[in-house]
Amino acid sequence: MSVLAALLFAQLAAFAPADEYKLVNPRAIELFERDQRLMQWALAKYDGNRDGYLSIFEADKAAGEFKQIADGDRDGHVTPAEYRSAWGFIVARWGDQVASARSR
């Protein structure tokens, strides 16, 4: 790494807040783009600025919670059966929020 690049990186790091959120899965938004029902849940719970869109940070947090809900056997993978079960749980638990997000 060149000296200039190192200095630039140090400057940028100095301006970053210490508690800045670190992305776990930058492609998390793809999960919600494939399943509109899940997108409605994510928007209802994680669209912090209420603009009707998930940022990559909002999607990452939502995907993390969804995986926590869905991965019943805690093996790190969500099977189709676990996915369906998680969706049923989300509807039962957050049905009103999902319905209100859909009407926006």
Residue 94 is predicted with a pLDDT of 81
Residue 16 is predicted with a pLDDT of 46
pTM of the full structure = 0.69
Residue 14 has pLDDT above 90, yes or no: no
Phi, psi of 76 (to 5 degrees): 90, 0
Instruction: Give per-residue pLDDT as tens, 65-89.
Output: 999 999 999 999 999 999 999 989 9
Q: Which tops the pLDDT comparison, 99 or 54?
A: 54
Residue 11 is predicted with a pLDDT of 53
Residue 103 has pLDDT above 60, yes or no: no
